[in-house]
Amino acid sequence: MRVYNFSPGPSALPLPVLEKAAAQMQDANGTGQSVMEMSHRSKDFKPIFEKTESLLRELMGIPANYKVLFLQGGASLQFSMVPINIAAGDVPGKGKTAAFVDTGIWSDKAAKEAAKYAAVEVRASSRDKSYSYIPEAPSAKPDDAYYHITLNNTIVGTRWNKIPDTGSVPLVSDISSCILSEPLDVTKFGILYAGAQKNLGPAGTTVVIIREDLIGHAPVWAPAMLRYDIHAAEGSMYNTPPCYGIYMIGLVLEWLKGLGGVTAIAKLNREKAELFYNYLDNSKLFYSPVEKPYRSLMNIPFITRTEDAAKKDELEARFVKEAAAAGLVNLAGHRLVGGMRASIYNAMPIDGVQALIRFMEKFEKN
């Protein structure tokens, strides 16, 4: 029996996607091969790759002056690749300024990594209140090489509700946990990147969407595998790309298009999130620690109101265990913040959210 999987990532995939992949496992598109067995340069794989890219372009409205790259190394490698390619100097350690807004553990990691190659300035932070809100974004400075934000903060459950205007300074954003969850104006950004394992497909593929003028500035010492210009010139095939992951992303995008695309999924995502926040805001036992205007549509942390710390831990452990026994899995909060968290990405049906609320009502009564 399939469970409702609230994992923050890797996370649930749409059932029709898994069924299609299973049906094509041994013989994809009449080729007599699994996609896993195909040469990445073959005529069999080419249409699969092209379909994935064109669907992503269509669904996200990616303009022609942006390249789409399918890379490896996760979002975490982009924490290094972005500064190496657009801020580092030819002399290591003498990079340009990179501005960051610190809204959680991932943006902090991105800033710390960038500091190895660029002069990082953290211009605002919400650390003072355990990252429970998004701070006002100060203006970019003319000499900034880029300005980095994490659009959706997976661990603490916040989301930018408006995109800062950074003028001519390229805005760079980690959109790992919100890509394709609601409409996004790509033209406001210089670089967007996302690990696939939240809203796009299995782990192993990283999508990078980069404006063309930001390609070609890597310093001489940059490793070939970390250069956007090389990956762009080779059409993501400088080396073997994560072929099966790209195929799976294509199936997920096909599924999303069939549902009506980003506008349709955004409506569903808002319904799911509203339902759950509404329950939390009226519960006597559980609450959301996140300030209302900044609440994520994708990741919803919640904690119990119990005062006694030991009792609280015990109650929350019991909650996670009993929920799992009821087919509602992966509800523990991030190991660094505790509590619980329900990740309700595109693939989570509204029935799953309703089942979770029913379970929480029952737990609350007992």
Report the nearest approach of ligand PLP to the CB of residue 85 (Å).
Answer: 17
The residue among 206 and 304 lying less far from ligand PLP, judged by its C-beta, is 206
Q: Which of residues 87-116 bind ligand PLP (CB under 6 A)?
A: 106
Site for ligand PLP contains 9 (CB under 6 A): yes
Contact region for ligand PLP (CB under 6 A) — 122-130, 174-182, 268-276, 326-334?
A: 174-182
Site for ligand PLP contains 343 (CB under 6 A): no
Q: What is the length of the chain? A: 366
198 catalytic residue (yes or no): yes
Contact region for ligand PLP (CB under 6 A) — 37-45, 72-80, 88-96, 318-326?
A: 72-80
Site string for ligand PLP, 22-61 (x = CB under 6 A): ----------------------------------------
The residue among 174 and 182 lying less far from ligand PLP, judged by its C-beta, is 174
Measured between alpha carbons, how far is 348 from 160 in angstroms, rounded to an integer?
22
Report the nearest approach of ligand PLP to the CB of residue 197 (Å).
Answer: 6
- Nearest Cα neighbor of 37 from 24, 50, 19 is 24
Give all strands of the β-sheet with 286-287 in edge-to-edge order.
286-287, 299-304, 340-343
Site for ligand PLP contains 195 (CB under 6 A): yes
Pairing verdict, β 328-329 and 171-174: unpaired
- First CA to last CA distance, the chain: 27
Q: For residue 305, count other CB atoms closer than 10 A to its CB.
A: 11
Q: Which of residues 269-298 bind ligand PLP (CB under 6 A)?
A: none
Residue 34's Cβ-count burial label (10 Å; 0-12, 13-18, 19+) is: middle
Q: Extract the tokens encoding 206.
A: 């990283």
Q: For residue 86, count other CB atoms closer than 10 A to its CB.
A: 25
255 catalytic residue (yes or no): no
Positions marked catalytic: 106, 174, 198
